[in-house]
Amino acid sequence: MERTLIIAKPDAVQRGLIGEIISRLEQKGLKLVGMKMASLDEAMLRSHYAEHVDKDFYAGLEQFMKSSPVVLMAWEGFECVESVRNLVGATNPRQADPGSIRGDLAIGAGRNLIHASDSAATGQAEVASFFKEEELFSYDKSEYVHIYEDSERT
């Protein structure tokens, strides 16, 4: 099953929006398979944001991401990367659709509350880089049936 990494960024922690973020993903019907709090260091951030390290905003981004602990989550579900990116909204919260997490709750691109993996391959890789195998859980979830691919065929 497809997986995605969510990081509730320092602004989500500081603003008390961790529960709101979890709630929106839970209500979509996705399955939480791993969660922990962590302080991200420079090496982790340079690796996670490798595509952005040369950009103007990177120094500020790294400083911000180190400014408080974050909450790391692994979520699972049928094509969950697509679902979660839509729930999260555009990178610039002012352009994010109303109803999305960023569209409803944030204003600045540098304080957009949440990281979400951007492809199925990235989701697998990011979950593996932030979670040990024993920190990820496999379990049945009763209402999970509605997000299986099978439901699109009936």
Piece of 19-27, 70-78, 109-117, 139-147 that binds ligand IDP (CB under 6 A): 109-117
State the Cα–Cα distance between residues 19 and 36, nearest whole angstrom: 13
CB of 145 to ligand IDP, least distance (A): 30
Please say whether the dihedral angle defined by the alpha carbons of residues 120, 74, 96 and 9, taken in this order, is positive or negative: negative
Name the residue nearer to ligand IDP (CB basis): 103 or 110: 110
Q: Which is nearer to Mg ion, 33 or 116 (CB)?
A: 116
What's the min distance (Å) between Cβ of 54 and ligand IDP?
13
Identify the residue whose tokens are 């302080």. Answer: 39
3-state secondary structure of 105: helix
Per CB under 6 A, does 82 bind ligand IDP? no
* Contact status: 120 vs ligand IDP (CB under 6 A): no
CB of 28 to ligand IDP, least distance (A): 18
User: Residue 58 burial by CB count (10 A; 0-12/13-18/19+): exposed, middle or buried?
Assistant: middle
Q: Quick one: what does residue 61 bind among ligand IDP, Mg ion, none, with the CB cut-off 5 to 8 Å set by partner type? A: ligand IDP
Burial 96-134 (b: 16+ CB within 10 A, else e): beeebbbbebbeebebbbbbbbeeeeebbebbeebbeee
Among positions 28, 52, 66, 141, the unique one binding ligand IDP when judged by CB under 6 A: 52
Which residues from 76-95 bind Mg ion, rule CB under 5 A?
Answer: none
Given 35, 118, 125, 135, the residue binding ligand IDP (CB under 6 A): 118
Q: Return the DSSP state at 16.
A: T
115 in catalytic set: yes
Binding ligand IDP by CB under 6 A: which of 1, 109, 120, 128? 109
Cα–Cα distance, 149 to 154 (Å, whole number): 10
